Amino acid sequence: MKKTVIIIVNVVIMVAIMSFVVLYSGSESRDSYQRQIEHFEDSTVTMEQVTENYLESEQRICDIWARYINNKTMTMEEAADYIRASHVLENTSAHLISPDTLTGLSTRPKQGTDDDYAVSYKKIDLLEDTSWIDRIGESINITRAYTNPMNGEQSLAFCNTVELYNPESQKSETAVLMRVIPISMLEQKWVFPQTELVNAELAVIDADGDYILKGDSFKNSSLFEFYKSYNATDPKSSTELFNKITSSTGSVPMINSHKQECILAFTPVSASVGWTMLGLMPAKDLDVDTENWLLFGVVSAGLLILFLFDLLCILYFNKRLQIAAREAESANKAKTDFLSTMSHDIRTPMNAIIGLTTIAEKNLGDVESTGESLRKISLASNHLLTLINDILDISKVESGKLKLSPLTFSIVETVENLVTVSQPMIKEKNIEFSFHTNQMEKEYLYTDQLRLNQIYINILSNAIKYTEPGGRVSVDLHQDKSDKPGYVRLTYVVADTGIGMSPEFMETMYQPFSRQIDSRVNSIQGTGLGLAITKQMVDLLGGTIECQSERGKGTTFTIVLDIQEADRQREDMQLESVDVLIVDDDEIMLQTTVDILESLGASAEQAPSGLEALGMIEHRHLSGKDYDAIIIDWKMPEIDGLETIRRIRSEIDETIPILLISAYDWSDIEDKAKAAGANAFVSKPLFRSTLYDKINDLIGVESKSIEPEDDYSDLQGLHILVAEDNDINWEIISAILSMYGITTDRAENGRICVDMMRTAAEGSYELIFMDVQMPEMNGLDATREIRGLEDPWASSIPIIAMTADAFSENVMECLDAGMNGHIAKPVDIKIVIKEIRRIKDGGGQL
Amino acid sequence: MKKIVYMLLAVVMILGLSACGSEQQEAAPEEGFSPSLDTSTECQITVAGGYDNFEALEAEFDSFNEYYPNVELMFTKVDDYNNMIGMVLDGNDAPDIYVNYSWMYGREQYQSSIDHAENLADPALGLDLDCIRSNIMLNTSDDTLPMVPVFANTYGMLVNSSLFEKEGLSIPTTYEELVEVCKVFREKGYENPMMGYSKEETTSLFTLSAYPFFCETMADDAEAVNKFNALDSSAGEYMRPTLEKEMQFLSDGCVNLDACAEIEDNYEAVILRFFEGDVPMMFCSGDTVSGTKKRESQSEAFIANPFEYAFVPVPMSDEGTTFLDMPNLQFSVNKDSANLDMANEFMRFLITPQELNEMAQNKGLMSPTKDLSFNSVYAAFGDVPESRVLSPEVIGLTDDAVIQLRQAVYAVGTGEMTIDEAIDSFGTFTE
């Protein structure tokens, strides 16, 4: 499904949800609004009852007065006196008005006078028609609000008709009795009791719509005028509306004088025919939809955030997927390329092995030719093994199962090995090679030597591999103090003048299967795994690797590692008082060697060339102070080391000890050096311990060495059970072990192995080398069965896997099955011996 | 492209949401008025008057509340206003502002209404009195100003402009044109070219037509005015030209008095009769004009056949029309008000051209300000030359004297008296 469709579907769903929320919210709001209106209507009805009760109570007072007056024959004055006497409220009064003259008496004097009780309603349109005044007790007879002519206060009056005796006419005449109450007094009481209706106001209208009582919101003198003033209507509609208002209970919307939408609630006043109680309230006070909008807002915002979040996630994951797809594609291609390369790289040494084997078979009689073929077969085999080991390493790295196996080792030995390993390639490519060490004070270090070697060899072999013949490769290794106590900082710098790397390739060079696309590179053997493995190893050892490179100019790798010092170091390496001359055209080498010799207690002099050295040696010889030893570099300008030695021997002294040094392969010049008169040879770089040992050898002093001897006597007589179904493999391991005095029994498969162990006497075997993939019963099942044997010796016998299943998960499977170790085929006899010793020393006990 | 579509969708949603959440902006208070008191002041201001309702003033209350939201303003109707206002002012319900009238000034029975009034000419109050036409301002003996006009009044006639246009006639500006127009309308089948209320003297068609003419005859004769005001019996003769003009008008056949007699009152009935649409010209006062707008919706005839109309001066003179400029409602501030500062603040707010014109427009009455052009109904009065703008206030005619004229005119117009009898009765007429 296209992203656009997904987005549109999302938007449609969101719009649908929001529409639902709006509609639902609107519906709820309308329902709520309707309920509020109904509540307002109910409140108006309640207020009608409250009002009615109040009006009735006020009317009853007027009724009592009227009945009393009617029961007596009273003049207007007497009636006024009676009411005056019965009055209790100061702010109310009573008026007795003759309907004929619209004049009469008030119970209270006119404002500003003390004795003027005359009152006139002539100018007040109130009593011209008194037909609305019912008989006493039958209803509430109340006037509209009007201005009290006695004090100017807005008032209303409860009325009754009374019969008063007129002394002048000597007749009884009807008069209107008015109990006059100020509006202000009523306003204090006449409000909705509920706080939520605080803005609601009340009014009472008569059948014509004229107000009898009204709150301030009710404008005009008539409700109907008020309605028509602010609401568009036509005569017919307004008539219908007014009929509805004056004849039923309910509510209608209307606009008030503030142009606000209001609800007008109405209900008939039951106590007085034609009257209607009104309630008026702004609609917004009833419309409580704020929360719904809040809900809508929250839902909308939430959906929008969700939408944007999803959108960003989709875009992000799409991008990630695209990257992953590209990477997968790239990795796939890389693996295809790798397999292609591997095929080539495997076939090449295999071709050599097969071809040379054929040649050797044909020339069995020619020992020299056969030996040469076997040497080359060995080289090709080693290359093949390296290739396979690389694959194993990268497998371990990728699965995160690469573990360190730290041990004490000599950095000197490591460097020597490094030089040795690289010599053939240097020689083959005729590369100018130099190796400088400096301040290598701590010879014995504690780390995974194998991985350190791997790092150093990978970098150096790459430098050599990618440097054209005639180019230069230099190595600088020095020790510094580390920030971590008990550690030294080893800085390993390999610089070459090779083909260099492009910036683009440098960004991905540490990724597996990465090889620079370059016609020059394609011709060079490689798996594209070296740098990836190196980087992982460096990371594992907690170091850093940096690279500076320029295409066509060369590359410099710098590796910095903090490595723990070994507990033991060679101590007291002090030469007896010896006088040494060092001859080399390399000034750095000269100075470094002088420093080392002086630190060993020797007296050292230096000569930058053979000729100068000859002069110095002759001068000493003539003065009877021959040097105790002379160290001469092989490759020097003018006359090289061999020529110099030759001249020393022939022209000066035949006995003086001479040590030839070189960064190149000793084997090439060994014969010539011996012929020239060199006493010993040592490879560059020169280490403190190497010099100490060699000089002592030269001057005939036994050096203090902590190096273990290559003594395999401890292995003599060991008896090992080998479970191996393959005859050739059995033959190889059996033959190799026998060279160390180890005897073996064979079990052709796992079943036989288990049976043999079941019947073997205690101590028959030191350990078992167990192949994994075997017929009938594989090595894993066999191990499990052996571990389950009743005989404690048999069930606890050390079992070492010896298998071509060399991946990390295979190792784990073996260990999980109960094995004590793992040796990958093709077997390295050194590793085998090491494992045997480990087991023998108790490292493999269960 | 896709990203643009997504963005657009998102923007639309955001805009939609913001539209849902937006609230209506509250109207900003009008410019021009700047509050001088604490706008959070809480108090109640009552304005008393004789109107049943005063929607136009309540609209001003709303505007004032935009500045002073906590001031509660209220209009209260006082029954029998003219007689009661004095008592109200002395009583417990005394208003802060109240309606006053020029004619109350100088009359003892209304003295309380004047005595309670603050002097609004006091510059400290800051009222913009210059915006009001000077000839309707009350002239007092001590140069105080107890009241200030908020509406003006005049006499004239409502003209059915649509009808004039339909018949191809122009609104008359001289008496001769008036007679001619009436003649043409009659010929075209209009039975009543002019109508007016005639049942009672108050704003009857006789008064409305004669009084401006009379003022014109007296305007430049101070001695005559003095004698007329003194109700000197000989001053009745000053009415003769007016009464003769009245008779001429009636004899020229412009009005049918029998038809006019069917109009029941001088307000609603006059308007509804005019809205019937068959009367080209209807005598009325500015007070009546104020009721026309509201009654447009109450007249089924007008709803069925609406038309354009205007209020114009009646051309009773050959020299042209006369604008009889009179004050109508005036406001006084109760100097004993408990909230005198706020009452004055409201007056300062109200007495400006903008607010007075607004209130007059809402009420349908003539504005007291110098600019009448804003209201098309009264615009014609603004076109009357200044020399023909007359004001009883300026001329100096007293109300008691004017009552004599009005009664005489009514008596002659209705045929109760001859001209001579009316002149002889000068000084004896009662209201």
Say whether both B171 and B317 belong to one domain.
Answer: yes
- CA nearest B76: which of A211, A128, A246, A118? A211
SS (H, E, C) A726-778: CHHHHHHHHHHHHHCCCEEEEECCHHHHHHHHHHCCCCCCCEEEECCCCCCCC
pLDDT of residue A97: 94
- Determine, for residues A11 and B9 on separate chains, whether the beta-carbon distance falls below 8 Å: yes
Q: Which of residues 137-176 of A touch B (CB under 8 A)?
A: 146-147, 149, 151-154
Q: Report the C-alpha gap between A97 and B407 in whole angstroms.
A: 33
A9-18, A157-166, A172-181, A695-704: which has the minimum mean pLDDT? A695-704
pLDDT of residue A665: 66
CA gyration radius, chain B: 25
Residue A381's CB: how many other CB atoms inside 10 A? 15
Inform me whether the pLDDT recorded for B5 exceeds 60. no
Give A332 or A791, the one with higher predicted confidence.
A791
pLDDT of residue A844: 44
Cβ atoms of A451 and A537 within 8 Å: the answer is yes
Say whether both B130 and B219 belong to one domain.
Answer: no
Say whether both B280 and B316 belong to one domain.
Answer: yes
* Cα angle B403, B408, B411; round to 5: 125
Chain B residues in contact with A123 (beta carbon < 8 A): 79-80, 83-84
Phi, psi dihedral angles at A433 (to 5 degrees) = -125, 135
Averaged pLDDT, A581-588: 88
Tokens 């009469």 belong to which residue? Answer: A104
pLDDT of residue A708: 41
Which of B80, B82, B297 is best to mutate for the A interface (most A CBs within 10 A)? Answer: B80
pLDDT of residue B22: 41
Q: Chain-wide mean pLDDT for chain A?
A: 83
Assigned domain for B1 exists: no
Phi, psi dihedral angles at B333 (to 5 degrees) = -105, 130
pLDDT of residue B259: 93
Inform me whether the pLDDT recorded for A321 exceeds 90. no
Inform me whether the pLDDT recorded for B19 exceeds 50. no
Say whether both B129 and B217 belong to one domain.
Answer: no
CA gyration radius, chain A: 59
Q: How far apart are the first and last CA of chain A?
A: 59
Maximum CA extent, chain A: 186
Residue A284's CB: how many other CB atoms inside 10 A? 12
Q: Give A193-232 pLDDT, tens digit per residue.
A: 666 677 788 888 888 888 877 787 887 778 888 888 788 8
Inform me whether the pLDDT recorded for B101 exceeds 50. yes
Rounded to a whole number of angstroms, the distance from the CA of A121 to the nearest CA of chain B is 9
Q: Give B323-332 pLDDT, tens digit per residue.
A: 999 999 999 9
Averaged pLDDT, A295-316: 82
Cβ atoms of B412 and B425 within 8 Å: the answer is no
Which of A7, A154, A184 is best to mutate for the B interface (most B CBs within 10 A)? Answer: A154
Partners of B327 in the β-ladder:
B152
Inform me whether the pLDDT recorded for A534 exceeds 90. no
Rounded to a whole number of angstroms, the distance from the CA of A133 to the nearest CA of chain B is 21
Assigned domain for B163 exists: yes
Residue A443: which pLDDT band, with cuts at 50, 70 and 90? confident
Assigned domain for B20 exists: no
What CATH number is given to the structural domain containing B206?
3.40.190.10
pLDDT of residue A144: 82
Q: Give B215-242 pLDDT, tens digit per residue.
A: 999 988 889 999 999 998 889 999 999 9
Partners of A267 in the β-ladder:
A277
Averaged pLDDT, B426-430: 89
- Determine, for residues B89 and A3 on separate chains, whether the beta-carbon distance falls below 8 Å: no
Assigned domain for B76 exists: yes
Give A115 or A570, the one with higher predicted confidence.
A115
Closest residue, chain A, to B13 (C-alpha): A304
Q: Which of residues 230-249 of A touch B (CB under 8 A)?
A: 230, 232-235
Inform me whether the pLDDT recorded for B31 exceeds 60. no
Strands A821-824 and A118-120: unpaired
pLDDT of residue B17: 46
- Determine, for residues B59 and A125 on separate chains, whether the beta-carbon distance falls below 8 Å: no
Averaged pLDDT, A587-607: 85
Averaged pLDDT, A624-645: 88
- Determine, for residues A111 and B87 on separate chains, whether the beta-carbon distance falls below 8 Å: yes
Q: Give A128-144 pLDDT, tens digit per residue.
A: 888 888 888 888 888 88
pLDDT of residue B192: 92
pLDDT of residue B1: 45
Is residue B329 classed exposed, middle or buried when 0-12, 13-18 and 19+ CB atoms within 10 A define those classes?
Answer: buried
Inform me whether the pLDDT recorded for A192 exceeds 70. no
The shortest CB-CB distance from B298 to any of A3, A154, A235 is to: A235
Residue A544: which pLDDT band, with cuts at 50, 70 and 90? very high
pLDDT of residue B244: 94
pLDDT of residue B249: 93
Averaged pLDDT, B60-78: 91
Helix-strand-coil split of chain A, %, nearest 5? 45, 20, 35
CA B111 remoteness from chain centre: 24
Averaged pLDDT, A636-657: 87
Say whether both B256 and B337 belong to one domain.
Answer: no
Give SS3 for B71: strand
State what percent of residues in chain A have pLDDT above 70: 89
Assigned domain for B373 exists: no
pLDDT of residue A707: 38
Say whether both B177 and B312 belong to one domain.
Answer: yes
Chain A residues in contact with B45 (beta carbon < 8 A): none
A90 interfacial to chain B (CB closer than 8 Å): no
Say whether both B265 and B128 belong to one domain.
Answer: no
Averaged pLDDT, A297-308: 82
Q: Which of residues 294-313 of A touch B (CB under 8 A)?
A: 296-297, 300-301, 304, 307-308, 311
Question: What tokens appear for B381 in the block?
Answer: 């009065």
Contacts of B30 by beta carbon, 8 Å cutoff, 6+ apart: B63, B66, B354
Beta sheet of B43-49, edge-to-edge order: B71-77, B43-49, B97-100, B330-333, B148-149
Is residue B232 classed exposed, middle or buried when 0-12, 13-18 and 19+ CB atoms within 10 A define those classes?
Answer: middle
Work out how many domains chain B is built from and give that number.
2
Q: Give B156-213 pLDDT, tens digit per residue.
A: 999 999 999 999 999 999 999 999 999 999 999 999 999 999 999 888 999 999 999 9
Partners of A397 in the β-ladder:
none
- What are A316-324's contacts with CB under 8 Å, separation 24+? A318/A3
pLDDT of residue A519: 52
Assigned domain for B410 exists: yes
Question: What tokens appear for A13 in the block?
Answer: 């769903």
Rounded to a whole number of angstroms, the distance from the CA of A259 to the nearest CA of chain B is 10
Cβ atoms of A95 and A119 within 8 Å: the answer is yes
Residue A558: which pLDDT band, with cuts at 50, 70 and 90? very high
pLDDT of residue B113: 93
Rounded to a whole number of angstroms, the distance from the CA of B21 to the nearest CA of chain A is 7
Inform me whether the pLDDT recorded for B368 exceeds 90. yes
Q: Indicate the pTM of the whole model.
A: 0.54
Length of chain B: 431
Assigned domain for B49 exists: yes
Q: Give A76-106 pLDDT, tens digit per residue.
A: 999 999 998 887 677 889 999 999 999 999 9
Residue B367: which pLDDT band, with cuts at 50, 70 and 90? very high
Residue B376's CB: how many other CB atoms inside 10 A? 13
pLDDT of residue B18: 46
Inform me whether the pLDDT recorded for B20 exceeds 50. no
Cβ atoms of A176 and A157 within 8 Å: the answer is no
Inform me whether the pLDDT recorded for A562 exceeds 90. yes
The shortest CB-CB distance from B77 to any of A221, A226, A232 is to: A221
pLDDT of residue A51: 83
pLDDT of residue B302: 94
- Determine, for residues B14 and A304 on separate chains, whether the beta-carbon distance falls below 8 Å: yes
pLDDT of residue B160: 95
pLDDT of residue A710: 56
Say whether both B301 and B208 belong to one domain.
Answer: yes
Q: What is the DSSP string of A534-579?
A: HHHHHHHTT-EEEEEEETTTEEEEEEEEEEEEPS---------S-E
- CA nearest A208: which of A190, A225, A233? A225
Q: Report the C-alpha gap between B264 and A276 in whole angstroms.
A: 30
pLDDT of residue A525: 53
Cβ atoms of A764 and A791 within 8 Å: the answer is no
Inform me whether the pLDDT recorded for B350 exceeds 90. yes
- Determine, for residues B90 and A152 on separate chains, whether the beta-carbon distance falls below 8 Å: yes
Inform me whether the pLDDT recorded for A39 exceeds 50. yes
pLDDT of residue B32: 78
Contacts of A473 by beta carbon, 8 Å cutoff, 6+ apart: A426, A431, A432, A433, A434, A460, A463, A464, A467, A494, A495, A496, A497, A498
Residue B344: which pLDDT band, with cuts at 50, 70 and 90? very high
Chain B residues in contact with A232 (beta carbon < 8 A): 297
Evaluated on CA atoms A771, A777, A780, A784, the torsion sign reads: negative
Give A607 or B18, the one with higher predicted confidence.
A607
Inform me whether the pLDDT recorded for A584 exceeds 70. yes
Highest mean pLDDT among A322-326, B88-92, B272-276: B272-276
Say whether both B50 and B70 belong to one domain.
Answer: yes
Domain assignment of residue B360, given as a range: 43-146+330-364
Assigned domain for B369 exists: no
Say whether both B248 and B140 belong to one domain.
Answer: no
Q: What is the DSSP string of A178-242?
A: EEEEEHHHHHTT-S-S-GGGTT-EEEEE-TTSBEEEE-TTS-SSBHHHHHHHHS---HHHHHHHH
Say whether both B221 and B296 belong to one domain.
Answer: yes
Say whether both B61 and B91 belong to one domain.
Answer: yes
Give B297 or A546, the one with higher predicted confidence.
A546
pLDDT of residue A698: 79
Give A595 or B61, the one with higher predicted confidence.
B61
